[in-house]
Amino acid sequence: MKRRDFLKNAALGGAATAALATPAIAQDKREWKMVTAWPKNLPGPGVAAQMLADRITTLSGGRIEVKLYAAGELVPGNGVFDAVSEGTAELYHAVPAYWGSKSKGILLFGSQPFGLRADEQFGWLAHGGGQALYDEIYARFGLKPFLCGNSGPQWQGWFRGEINSVDDLKGLRFRTTGLASEMCARIGMAVQAMGGRDMFQALQSGALDAGEFIGPWTDSALGFQQVAKNYYWPGVGEPSSAEECAVNAKVYEELPDDLKAAVSLACESLYNPVWTEYTTKHALALEKLVAEEGVQVKKLPDDVIVALGNAAGEVMAELRESDDELVRRIVESFLAYRKSVAGYMVYADNGQMNARAMDYNY
């Protein structure tokens, strides 16, 4: 563990201890409903949502008691944004990639084709001016947003057939979401949006030719390996996918400062644990998929990756010309941060990963 990470974790632990030491005051107790975009305890996001509900309750000393409602229990999974905006529930757990119909600018806070890794995504918000823009655009809808986890690199997905060229993608019925949808559509894919369970049924029936959801841990729990055996990487549509918590802004502003801090700390302190759990369990799940399920792990051809990259560039160029001045500011902030860290990563993480992959005795 790096020294700065140790010091940060120690600070978080101290803050958590202070929050835990705060006695619950009966007349100051709040009961919050958390609605989520996930089935209950779905490996990955469903598990993370419950962790967040429990952590807010704990760090608030029980003064905020959060009860989780899975997708469909109180509102549909795709309805959680509106439910919290309108005050039907106090907070939700989902991903920004689901809210493009509200504003294209929101999509950049979750994932970007050929964009930021999980650590870079958090870095943009915490140190590159992203959080202020995140707050500004969600304030339009009466929400206060926080990042609270990340899946890490997602996969290009499950394909019933093989992909050998860009032509193989034209007309392909494909499930994805967010800005990746626009990237894929630009090279002729027939993009469809749906939840994970619906994606399984569509692949099984032949209504879909391919689709991506998250990665090996979550994907195997949904059973995609039963209906498609070709598992393609890299997932250039979502180099990472941030999970978010959004709280009704009026409810949040009415909190005393210590409870605001408890909610913020609960979200921030889960980002790395959620991300690293995904990484660990994705790796274990992939081994099992290959060894026991007959899954074929395949790399997208380079010309396909380049075509997708060019399409992603077209999407970004269009966003830079948005009629919405705030969206333009979000895009410029993202692009500036991406350029800076991408230049550095050539020598840092990219260099280390390339060195580790070389052939030597270890």
**Cα–Cα distance between 181 and 316 in angstroms, integer?**
13
Average pLDDT over residues 162-180: 97
Question: Does residue 117 have a pLDDT over 60?
Answer: yes
Cβ(244)–Cβ(110) under 8 Å?
yes
User: What pLDDT shows up at residue 10?
Assistant: 43
Q: Kindly list the distances between the CA atom of residue 201 and the CA atoms of 38, 161, 215, in Å, as whole numbers in the listed order.
A: 17, 17, 18
Average pLDDT over residues 330-356: 97
Using CB atoms within 10 A of its CB, is residue 215 exposed (0-12), middle (13-18) or buried (19+)? buried
User: What pLDDT shows up at residue 155?
Assistant: 98
22 or 297: whose pLDDT is higher?
297
Both tokens of 127, joined, read 């140190």
- The residue among 150, 161, 154, 199 whose CA lies nearest residue 179 is 154
**Cα–Cα distance between 223 and 232 in angstroms, integer?**
16
Give the residue numbers of the binding site for Na(+). Answer: 213
Q: What are 202-260's pLDDT values in tens digits?
A: 999 999 999 999 999 999 999 999 999 999 999 999 999 999 999 999 999 999 999 99
User: Residue 185 in 3-state DSSP?
Assistant: helix
**Cα–Cα distance between 230 and 270 in angstroms, integer?**
32
CB burial string 82-98: b at 16+ within 10 A, e below: ebbbeeebbbbbbbbbb
Give the residue numbers of the binding site for substrate. Answer: 154, 175, 212, 238
**What is the pTM for the complete model shown?**
0.90
Give the residue numbers of the binding site. Answer: 154, 175, 212-213, 238
User: What pLDDT shows up at residue 206?
Assistant: 96
Strand partners for 69: 35
CB under 8 Å to 43, separation ≥6 — which residues?
217, 218, 221, 281
The phi and psi torsions of 170 (rounded to 5 degrees) equal: -70, 125
Q: What are 72-105's pLDDT values in tens digits?
A: 999 999 999 999 999 999 999 999 999 999 999 9
In the chain, where does DSSP find H-type helix? 3-21, 45-59, 80-85, 104-107, 118-127, 130-139, 178-186, 196-205, 216-222, 249-253, 257-293, 302-320, 325-345, 349-356
The phi and psi torsions of 91 (rounded to 5 degrees) equal: -155, 160
Question: Does residue 18 have a pLDDT over 60?
Answer: no
**Cα–Cα distance between 40 and 21 in angstroms, integer?**
30
**Cα–Cα distance between 271 and 75 in angstroms, integer?**
25
**Cα–Cα distance between 148 and 134 in angstroms, integer?**
14
- Identify residue 55 by its one-letter amino acid code: R
CB under 8 Å to 29, separation ≥6 — which residues?
62, 63, 64, 65
Please, which pLDDT band fits residue 297 given cuts at 50, 70 and 90? Answer: very high
Please, which pLDDT band fits residue 28 given cuts at 50, 70 and 90? Answer: confident
Q: What are 31-58's pLDDT values in tens digits?
A: 999 999 999 999 999 999 999 999 999 9
In the chain, the domains with their CATH numbers are: 3-152+239-280 (3.40.190.170), 157-238+297-356 (3.40.190.10)
Question: Does residue 25 have a pLDDT over 50?
Answer: no
Both tokens of 196, joined, read 């994970």
Strand partners for 230: 159, 296
Average pLDDT over residues 325-332: 98
What rounded mean pLDDT belongs to the chain? Answer: 93
Question: Does residue 14 have a pLDDT over 50?
Answer: no
